[in-house]
């Protein structure tokens, strides 16, 4: 895959970064990430991923199987995370608890997704805290996609 003139113009600010370059942008354009749900954080993360060139899927599919490159899930999706990991799909999770945003990336079912105190969607949510946590998780997805190790 090579970038069209239109894509080079659109993603020029990313392509000039040595960490991304043309090869990295081609990986992003070929990638698919699952971001289910419609919370403000999930929408913000989906928007950031789409702006980088990634195809964002909002639902896993009719049979709950997902064949994309990665998934970004909120704290209410731990059961889905376990199923995706078992099927071989890496997962970035995020949450917020006690005024802090947290995120983690798991590539294998044995990888730990959450810190010692698991994040929670319940309780007091400072304005923007969920969005910050979701954006951290989106950055984890992008970094993994740029490494180019996905199938």
Share of the chain above pLDDT 70, in %: 83
Region 1-8 average pLDDT: 90
Residues 6+ apart with CB under 8 A from 11: 3, 25, 52, 53
Q: Is the pTM of this model over 0.85?
A: no
Residues 6+ apart with CB under 8 A from 39: 74, 130, 134
Distance between CA atoms of residues 53 and 59, nearest Å: 18
Going along 41-114, which residue ranges are E strands? 55-57, 70-73, 91-97, 100-106
CATH number, domain 31-146: 3.40.50
- pLDDT tens digits along 33-70: 999 888 888 899 999 999 999 999 988 665 567 888 99
pLDDT of residue 20: 92
Region 101-122 average pLDDT: 66
SS3 92: strand
Map tokens 């090869």 to a residue.
Answer: 23
SS3 59: coil
User: From the centroid of its chain, how far is CA 40?
Assistant: 14
Say which residue, 55 or 108, is predicted with more confidence. Answer: 55
The DSSP letter of residue 120 is: B
Distance between CA atoms of residues 125 and 117, nearest Å: 16
Say which residue, 148 or 51, is predicted with more confidence. Answer: 51
H-helix segments, 52-128: 78-86
């Amino acid at each position: 895959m090579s970038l069209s003139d239109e894509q080079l113009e659109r993603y020029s600010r990313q392509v000039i970064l040595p960490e991304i370059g043309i090869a990295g942008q081609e990986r992003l354009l070929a990638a698919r990430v699952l971001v289910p749900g419609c919370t403000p954080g999930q929408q913000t993360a989906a928007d950031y991923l789409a702006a980088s060139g990634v195809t964002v899927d909002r639902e896993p599919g009719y049979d709950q199987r997902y064949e994309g490159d990665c998934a970004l899930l909120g704290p209410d999706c731990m059961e889905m995370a376990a199923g995706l990991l078992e099927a071989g799909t890496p997962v970035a999770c995020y949450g917020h608890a006690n005024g802090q945003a947290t995120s983690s990336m798991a590539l294998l079912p044995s990888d730990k997704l959450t810190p010692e105190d698991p994040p929670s969607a319940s309780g007091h949510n400072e304005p923007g805290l969920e969005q910050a946590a979701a954006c951290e998780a989106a950055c984890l997805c992008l970094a993994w996609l740029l490494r180019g190790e996905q199938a």
